[in-house]
Chains A and B, each alone.
Chain A
Amino acid sequence: MSQSMQNTIVKQLPILLKREFWEHKVAIFYVPLIITLFSIGIVVLSAISAPLISFSVDVENNGPGHQVTIGKSDTSMSEIVGPQLVSFSKRSMAQKERVFEELYSGFSLLLIVPLWFVIFFYLQGSLYEDRKDRSILFWKSMPVSDGLTVASKLITALFVIPAIYLVFVVISQLAFLIIASIVATFNSVEVWSTLWAPAHLMMRWLGMMAFFLFTAFWCLPFFTWILLVSSWAKSVPFAWVMGIPILLVVIEYYLFRSSGYIREFIANHSISFREVSGGFSNFYAAGVFSMEMLLAVGIGAIFISVTIWKRGYANEI
């Protein structure tokens, strides 16, 4: 990379990322803000008045089931808020940790499920909408290379948007602990050992960060495929995004019946809602330097190259 190319990137990339933020402010910023305010509001209401939300966490058994119901409930926020904090503080550390695990998993899902939708539709529109509304003629009249344009979209989807959502996860988890601490103090419960220590906030946040980073590369074929479709589809990009992989799977099924390599690969490397909240588990650690990872990044790189090439002659539609 030449010096002048580096200068251009340093000068242009920040404003290109800002551009993406301006265009998608609602999805990138206001949606998580409102969700966060809403969930903090629920917690505050539960802490000061009759509980609107009840958690029943299966602490005694090892089952992972947790259950969140919203609405007037006659059970209080058992184990967490109010006088229950007193009994909660007497549980073992392992039990406390489990409660936080379940509680915070549910909490972060409130933000992470929307996050995946936002990223999906952001990518799908990123190189499509400006062709549809003809503003591509303005963007292309700027001395910005197609490669940098595509890079700015991908960086936004894989790093900027998750980072912003992560900040809101942090805020909502902190807010929850602060509110619970206030209630605890009023009930003379030891705040650190009951709440902050078992919550493992730092580890939790690092774990989520690692999870997003891992997903960015592990699911690179998934993200870049959407981007690629967005760069050439003349209409309904969603149909192409979904249709072609489904077609591939069907063809594979008719050709080979039993083996479903493509199907498995697609399922494996798409974002899913299963493990979003779990943080950085061993599964990911094993995946980081695997052949499978290499393959995923390789396919992603091919998709990116084709996207840049398609963008080169992209026009109004």
Chain B
Amino acid sequence: MNDVSTNIASNIVEVKGISKSYGDTYALDNVSFSIQRGSIVGLIGPNGAGKTTALKALLGLTDFNGELEVMGIDPRTGRHKMMENVCFIADVGVLPRWLKVKDAIDYLSAVHPRFDRDKAVGLLEQTNIQHNKKVKQLSKGMVTQLHLALVMAIDVDLLVLDEPTLGLDILYRKAFYDSLLNDYFDRETSIIISTHQVEEIESLLTHLLFIDQGRIVLDTAMDELSENYREVLVEPSQVSEAEALGPLSTREMLGRKSMIFEGVDEAKLAPLGELHIPSVADLFVAKMRRG
């Protein structure tokens, strides 16, 4: 408990050993992590790994065992208070279909103390969304644009995105992350994004959280990633030497072997072949195979 409260100043989210089970399967198995103010965290894992459950616990949408604080508030008891400083976008289609765009704006103006009406209207002007339309009259992509516009008009400390672009075509996906990046670039807002399309958000992230079968398998800052992990394209003649250094993973690539190493000195790796910083996707695959 002491630990949690002393970290609050710098950490916006503190998760300490939370577990959640459905029957005898664990959706979350003693999960701990923290999110620093201003960081952009990618929560990455295969389907059913526990991403959504973790985010729901964070948002006070589900019960669990363990300790969790968002800006010092336990979301299980203080959800509505917490939501003054947290925004949430789940995958497309959670805006009520009967809601009119202008009514959504009225609603948020009245209910949310940190909603900026003019900003929302300004953001919507950049789209083709008309104010007298109902959500059900908008395309999937437009619904996401609408939700994002509403959320971006709220000045919050934490933005939670759960597979925000699932089911959208590539144009809207790209546009979504572009506007997100532009808008939040110079804010202090922390963002946590869950996705399994890692490539699309890789460049945005400052931190990575890999989750598999309800457990955190990697928790690292992106700049530590470049220090700790190396991908080596090993020449066929040096494979046995390389394997002696204990690669995380090995795969065939155009006649050579591509190996990912964790925490091995660069000087030792350099003679083996070409060095790269592994992509998040490759690192993810490597970590999952081990787990």
Contacts and interface: CB of A to CB of B under 8 A. Distances in A.
A142 interface: yes
A142 B90 contact: no
A139 B61 CA distance: 11
A12 B110 CA distance: 6
Interface string A295-317: 00000000000000000110100
A137 B88 contact: yes
B270 interface: no
Contacts of A15: 106-107, 110-111
A145 B63 contact: no
Given A135-B94, A135-B96, A315-B62, A141 B111 contact: no
A141 B59 CA distance: 8
B27 to A, nearest CB: 13
A19 B94 CA distance: 16
Nearest to B114: A143
A144 B60 CA distance: 13
A140 B97 CA distance: 16
Contacts of B273: none
Interface in B25-59: 56, 59
Contacts of B113: 143
B95 A142 contact: no
A289 interface: no
Nearest to B98: A23
B97 A133 contact: yes
The size bracket of the interface on B is 35 or more
Interface residues of A, number: 28
B110 A23 contact: no
Contacts of B107: 15, 18-19
Contacts of B88: 137, 141
Interface in A1-27: 11-12, 14-16, 18-19, 22-23
Interface string A120-134: 000000000010011
Contacts of B89: 141
Nearest to B95: A138
A29 to B, nearest CB: 14
A107 to B, nearest CB: 32
A136 B96 CA distance: 8
Contacts of A136: 94
A97 interface: no
10 contacts: A15-B106, A18-B107, A22-B98, A23-B98, A23-B99, A136-B94, A137-B61, A138-B147, A141-B88, A315-B61
Q: Which 6 residue pairs of A and B lie closest in terms of their CB atoms, listed nearest first?
A: A15-B110, A135-B96, A141-B88, A143-B83, A145-B80, A137-B94
